[in-house]
Amino acid sequence: MHIIDIIEKKKNGFALSKDEIEYFIKGIVTEDEEKKIPEYQTSALLMAIYFQSMTSEETAYLTNAMVQSGERVDLSEIEGIKVDKHSTGGVADTTTLILAPLVAACGAPVSKMSGRGLGHTGGTLDKLESIEGFNVIQTIDNFKKIVNKTKISVIGQSGNLAPADKKLYSLRDVTGTVNSIPLIASSIMSKKIAAGCDALVLDVKTGNGSFLGEISEAERLAHAMVNLGKAAGIETRAIISDMNQPLGKAIGNALEVKEAIDVLNGSKDSERLKAVALELGSLMLKLAKIADEKTAKAMLQKAIDDGSGIAKLKEMVIAQGGNPDVIDNPSLLPTAKNIIELKSDKSGYINSMDTKSLGRAAALLGAGREELTDIIDHAVGYVMECELGEHINAGDTLCAIHYNDNRNLEDAMSLIKNSIHIEKSKNKKSKKLIYKII
């Protein structure tokens, strides 16, 4: 078997066999220089896959081969049906910090392994590290003990989970092959399958703040991932949710932690964020066989109302070495030296937003990273004071910007202002928040 033959076969539109795909994956992770497939040939095959796509069988073979390329975590010692959640990424998407404590408070064990965030803000791990002392680096044994004790833990991914995916993604990122449904599905699901959960809920974003702008593309990805999960013996569901504006109001690590704490304490200021968190959490409770369709959301709302959800977040913080006083007093989170209000210079209706650009503005302030080695500033970011469909007057506040230095402040302010499109007449088309459950 030769890699050039595999490249030619896929380039010409034929399906690859299980053996050919396993040969490819083994060839990119091997330490044997004679058997190693060079990056230029790997890139060629990725480009062939990008243009010719893959069948569902090929995608399953690729996912399984990537799972087998590293460790597979055994969480059988954790009592109950272990549930996990994954989002394809968006702006101000803080749902994990809300739904995980609520789901755990309702009795379902939440065992979540997350990665670092790239782009506009950090990922869930970076947000949690806004809490003084919070340790996302845990051994698997300790991870299992924490979940058995508290029903909830969020940690960094094991260094050897699906190592083939790390190699493929680094090449996809620089060869223009990121937006391939089979490659996205196998990348996400190989890590989730290897992480050892029993049930998985996926939040597939669509709109101008996601990497899948069209709903049809989001549906294809959702179906592909649900099928991959089920084939691996993991009960999997997906929602398709809107990302044509930031999901929450806060964009920035500590600011998003504060917003999550506020929602868990019953705040009514972040209804869109809360609605998606409750939808995902309801599916998690159903998959964990804790609740049925009629009672799931009511149980989650009760966990907000009676304080058991916020108490569960505090339990996790204590178990992972964080300062629990932060949960009672969010002012202990990192705070920026300066806050400035960005005002609108015209009146009208907010008919659309360039959500990706709004995310980039937070990165300009220091809330995100381009490389995993970059250091982020947990304190900076901004809080939106407007949303789609609202009427706004000249001089009204668009957002409150939290910053520590003004190196990129003017650029960030300009980007935010240009990303919020205000027009005289109101756009009659309304966007749904949740389009479909798969």
Give me the active site residues, please.
Answer: 86, 165, 172, 187, 191
Q: Please give the structure tokens belonging to residue 400.
A: 């409150």
Rounded to whole angstroms, how far apart are CA atoms 415 and 359?
10
| 122 neighbors 376 (Cβ within 8 angstroms) | yes
End-to-end CA distance of the chain: 39
